[in-house]
Structure 1
Amino acid sequence: MTGPVTGFDPRAHRMVAEQRWFDDFRIGERFPLPSRTMTEAIFLAFQAASGDNHPIHYDRAYCRARGLPDMLAHGYQVAIQTAAGAGLFPHLVQDSLRAFLEQSSRFLHPVFAGDTLYPALEVDELTPNRTTGVVGLRSTVHNGDGVLVLDGRHRYLIARHPAAVGASPGAP
């Protein structure tokens, strides 16, 4: 059954109305991501998705027998907390994003079940090209004690505004 036409346009249904282009970003601009407590459910979901079956990530008795306070989060489990899609960044660039180029992470301190993590992304690179540019984001994750547990980078290829390069809309 079809309802009455309401004038609704799905293309206008956006988290962020105004789109941003490469030239709209500034060094030091921050994009905090939602905090998240590393619950047992998150550990189980990560194990199911990754296939990692080492007991250090799911067996509390195994961990305690080795002097650990609880299950140890896998490094990738911590790194995925910096997924840009959890915040506003990808909504700001949904028209201008051309590619996710790379990601790297350094794991500085352990993360255990029950830890609450506070991820953030910060613009630390703006490398212009003719019609695009690379936006580099420093990725950080702090625990609830303020300890930096992950330091990394993301790099994205973002189109320059068509007016800035004399191109037609939608040109890469």
Structure 2
Amino acid sequence: MSSSFDPAEHKLAPTRYFEDFALGEVFALPSRTVTEAQFLAFQAASGDNHPIHYDREYCRRHGHPDLLAHGFQVLIQTAAGAGMFPFMVEGSLKAFLSQSSRFLAPTYAGDTLYPTLTVASLEPQRTTGVLTLASRIHNQRRMLVLDGEQRYLILKRPTAAS
């Protein structure tokens, strides 16, 4: 048994504080091809039973080439937890304050989504700061399908006086 091992020190990334972030810094999230199985899982989880999300023939009759993803099914691709961000702030994150989004183009079964989070603003406060991340998703055709933002309350680096 090794007495020098401390599970609390087993981290994927060093803690970053509010001051450690820079405007324009980009956090890429894993790309994902949206499959029919994901449509069915989202339908089960959300309870949304509109046929535009699971009936191909209904979609075609209404002018869509395939199953149309629910906006929230697209939005969840920007979950910060899919990337390194939560590991960077696990010691400094105080709150997830808000999220907003605009759905700019349809997403269909088979589309591949490429989400990114970009530091859009830094609003310092006394002991914390508000970090705003622009959330964007492009598809395989380079079309912007989602534009939004996420706001987090992040601790400032502790000082010797605190």
Same-fold status (TM-score > 0.5): yes
Does residue 27 in structure 1 map to residue 23 in structure 2? yes
Return the letter of the residue paired with 1:74: H
Give the corresponding residue for 1:68: 64
Give the corresponding residue for 1:170: none
Does residue 87 in structure 1 map to residue 83 in structure 2? yes
Give the corresponding residue for 2:137: 141
Q: Distance in 1 between matches of 2:57 and 2:11?
A: 46
SS in 2 for 1:44: helix
Return the letter of the residue paired with 1:158: I
Once the two structures are TM-superposed, the CA of residue 5 in structure 1 deviates from its matched residue by: 5.0
Match of 1:13 among 10, 13, 29: 10
Give the corresponding residue for 2:148: 152
Give the corresponding residue for 1:58: 54
Q: Distance in 1 between matches of 2:12 and 2:79?
A: 17
Identity of aligned residues (%): 64
SS in 2 for 1:114: coil
List gaps (5 residues or longer) in structure 1: 168-172
Q: Distance in 2 between matches of 1:13 and 1:104?
A: 33
Once the two structures are TM-superposed, the CA of residue 6 in structure 1 deviates from its matched residue by: 5.6
Give the corresponding residue for 1:37: 33
TM (norm. structure 1) is 0.91
SS in 1 for 2:16: coil
Q: Distance in 2 between matches of 1:97 and 1:124?
A: 17
Give the corresponding residue for 2:118: 122
Q: Distance in 2 between matches of 1:15 and 1:56?
A: 40
Q: Distance in 2 between matches of 1:25 and 1:7?
A: 32
TM (norm. structure 2) is 0.96
Q: Distance in 2 between matches of 1:45 and 1:128?
A: 40
Once the two structures are TM-superposed, the CA of residue 118 in structure 1 deviates from its matched residue by: 0.1
Once the two structures are TM-superposed, the CA of residue 15 in structure 1 deviates from its matched residue by: 1.4
Q: Distance in 1 between matches of 2:134 and 2:115?
A: 10
Q: Distance in 1 between matches of 2:138 and 2:82?
A: 16
SS in 2 for 1:64: helix
The Cα RMSD (Å) is 1.2
Q: Distance in 1 between matches of 2:7 and 2:32?
A: 30
